[in-house]
A and B are shown apart, each in its own frame.
Chain A
């Protein structure tokens, strides 16, 4: 069965520091991979996605993620965190590219301290 693991429930970083949020998935083939962010009172906003090709993908707000097949991982990174990045981040796996259901991790809550 498909599953997504985000091992860090909560992370605190200082503003300006680098960030890495971990995501591991379990699926028999290469899935379609997504990162979403939810700010308070907002919906889930797509940060970036990976379907194929270059394993390092760039997203909005200065985020990037790297797909590592050997580790079944899709970690999200940002070189310098801004206070506005405080939010909850969700990794998701899509089984096809035709709009099928997504499987989500439990989310990682990010706190940014001055």
Chain B
């Protein structure tokens, strides 16, 4: 069974540009999460989808971040416009219940 996949693995953009990160959860997992780790800090929750609905988006930093999960399958996280402080590793996780399975992350660098 394929695990959680994320694309791209790395992205380097300039301040003010737009970037879209993609996450493909494990097939059949209704729950999908986005997390972010800024260098040297803890991994922090961004938001949680149940199927295509946003269950909890309390961790989203501001309105420059937009997450979608069309059809309850894959999810995208768009940052527009990107700022320097958005740099970090963005993790996606999926679950059926109590255990979350994580992808390898997307390393975003904003110059």
Q: Which stretch of B43-51, B63-71, B80-88 is in the interface?
A: B43-51
- Please name all residues of chain A whose beta carbon is closer than 8 Å to the beta carbon of B44 when the two chains form the complex: 104
A101 touches B59 (CB 8 A): yes
A43, A45, A105 — most chain B CB neighbours (10 Å)? A43
Which interface class (under 10, 10 to 19, 20 to 34, 35 or more) fits A? 20 to 34
**Binary interface encoding of chain B residues 76-111 relative to chain A, with 1 for a CB under 8 A from any of its CBs, else 0:** 000000000000000101011111111111000000
B1 located at the interface, meaning its Cβ lies under 8 Å from any Cβ of chain A in the complex: no
**Binary interface encoding of chain B residues 12-52 relative to chain A, with 1 for a CB under 8 A from any of its CBs, else 0:** 00000000000000000001010100001111110010000
A53 located at the interface, meaning its Cβ lies under 8 Å from any Cβ of chain B in the complex: no
- Please name all residues of chain A whose beta carbon is closer than 8 Å to the beta carbon of B8 when the two chains form the complex: none
A97 touches B97 (CB 8 A): yes
| Bound form: Cα–Cα A99–B93 in Å | 10
Residues of B in contact (CB 8 Å), total 27
- Please name all residues of chain A whose beta carbon is closer than 8 Å to the beta carbon of B45 when the two chains form the complex: 101-103
A44, A90, A97 — most chain B CB neighbours (10 Å)? A44
CB within 8 A of A44: which of B42, B48, B102? B102
B91 touches A44 (CB 8 A): yes
B98 touches A97 (CB 8 A): yes
A107 to chain B, nearest CB (A): 7
A92, A99, A103 — most chain B CB neighbours (10 Å)? A99
A103 to chain B, nearest CB (A): 7
A99 touches B91 (CB 8 A): no
Q: Please, which residue of chain B has its CB at the minimum distance from the CB of A4? A: B42
A70 located at the interface, meaning its Cβ lies under 8 Å from any Cβ of chain B in the complex: no
| Bound form: Cα–Cα A21–B88 in Å | 25
Interface residues of chain A, those whose CB is within 8 Å of chain B, are: 4, 32, 34, 36, 41-46, 49, 51, 90, 92, 94, 97-107
Interface residues of chain B, those whose CB is within 8 Å of chain A, are: 3-4, 31, 33, 35, 40-45, 48, 56, 59, 91, 93, 95-105
Q: 9 A–B contact pairs at CB < 8 A?
A: A41-B104, A90-B43, A97-B97, A99-B31, A99-B95, A99-B98, A100-B48, A104-B42, A107-B43
